[in-house]
Amino acid sequence: MKEISCKLLVIGAGPGGYVCAIRAGQLGVDTVIVEAGKPGGTCLNVGCIPSKALIHAAEEFEKVSHMAGGNSPLGISVTAPVLDLGKTVAWKDGIVSRLNSGVAGLLKKAGVKTVQGWATFRDGKTVAVETETGTQIIRAETIVIATGSAPVELPFLPFGGPVISSTDALALSEVPKKLAVVGGGYIGLELGMAFAKMGAKVTVVEALPRVLAQYDAELTRPVVKRLVALGVDVMLGAKAKGLSKKGDALLVETADGKSVEIAADKILVTVGRKPVTEGWGLDQIDLDRAGKFIKIDDQCRTSMRGIFAIGDVTGEPMLAHRAMAQGEMVAEIVAGDKRSWDKRSIPAVCFTDPELVTAGLSPEEAKAQGEIKIGLFPFAANGRAMTKLGEDGFVRVVARADNHLVLGIQAVGQGVSELAAAFGLALEMGARLEDIAGTIHAHPTQGEGFQEAALKALGHALHI
């Protein structure tokens, strides 16, 4: 094969990689992107998008199921619904396929050349790609590593048979009657709650004293309440130990040291994600590490000149929108612009029921910096939330006590993921409590809770 030479080579076409390549192409940079799978990476193909499709289907099924019981306060009655998970998965796959095509089209429109195959470094400027038609050598002035992350596999619960990863869970043809979830973080609870709504008997096994430990207890309380309502058993301080001899149960050591078996048709392991740093010749180049991740500076430069790294492979927070922002920045740096990473906030959303949103500092983190003001407004006092049967939750604003600079914003409630943009913007623009309180929010919307929380922090909330 004839060698390819380019100014910029991007390895990995996930959210960070494809955004980097598209932006570079728009700026006239001769760009090549290499991807072993389909464009879109984990997020589009087996993560963010397909999981939200499954979560939405589960929500709709649960709503109709309640109506079939004649218990709907809306006065709607229907016959008992039936879920065809195979059809649901096919619908989800259709969405993914459309987005795959969309990303491929955007890369082409930006003038980016796509090479399908697995890339391996030969040196800091050269990569060999194993394609269907042979080995393709690519030489580049600058290389961006955007190889992403993969689910962590437990040595005593290797994936296969009844033990599944989040990727496998999104491709099941039928709802398991009994599902054990190892790990009570956001992935485990998002999928666990979805399958509970679809009719599975779900048990969550979490080694820590509480679920969603990355969030504060006040914020997660409505989610814990909902887990109980859904009939999900949560075992805290419990450790998974392996499969039973018959392979039909999960062996667990409880908080008091007892050994129990949790009957399960499927065991979903969601104990975190690890960077994909093996299999592509990292040993051929000398990059500094930050633990298991690739170490970068505020411009996403690695320790080797001409090599950048973005996204999950560089560490937390492992969020698609962080990778996208990094990719856009790197493309502009390569094109000659002056850019650096200076983000006040990277919002994070947990699509449990109810949803969680965090942006900026938590109350505890803010307290460590000095005296603060906190304003909390409950959705039980919000008209729009009440009309959606979504009264359980709140918006909370954390600000400095002296100048009222907003340091953090959190929310829990039905549909609050859509408030993430407003939260992020407020922090990025350096808003103060008075800025949010003085912004006229449309009525009736859940967004009014944001304004009311700021008013509460200032000492004069109007509706509580």
Residues marked as catalytic: 443
Counting every residue written for the chain, the total comes to: 464
- The answer to whether 1 and 134 are in contact (CB under 8 A) is yes
Query: Which residues does 307 contact at the CB level (< 8 Å), separation at least 6?
Result: 124, 142, 143, 144, 145, 285, 287, 301
CA 289 vs CA 16, 292, 304, 368: distances in Å: 19, 6, 12, 29
Say how far apart CA 79 and CA 64 lie, in whole Å. Answer: 9
Say how far apart CA 361 and CA 364 lie, in whole Å. Answer: 8
Tokens of 96: 């993914």
Beta-carbon-side half-sphere exposure of residue 415 (alpha carbons within 13 Å) = 13
Query: Which residues does 376 contact at the CB level (< 8 Å), separation at least 6?
Result: 394, 395, 396, 397, 453, 456
Tokens of 13: 């076409």
Say how far apart CA 442 and CA 138 lie, in whole Å. Answer: 53
Cis peptide before 81 (omega within 30 of 0): no
- The answer to whether 213 and 202 are in contact (CB under 8 A) is no
Which residue carries 């983190």 as its tokens? Answer: 365
Beta bridge partners of 235: 205
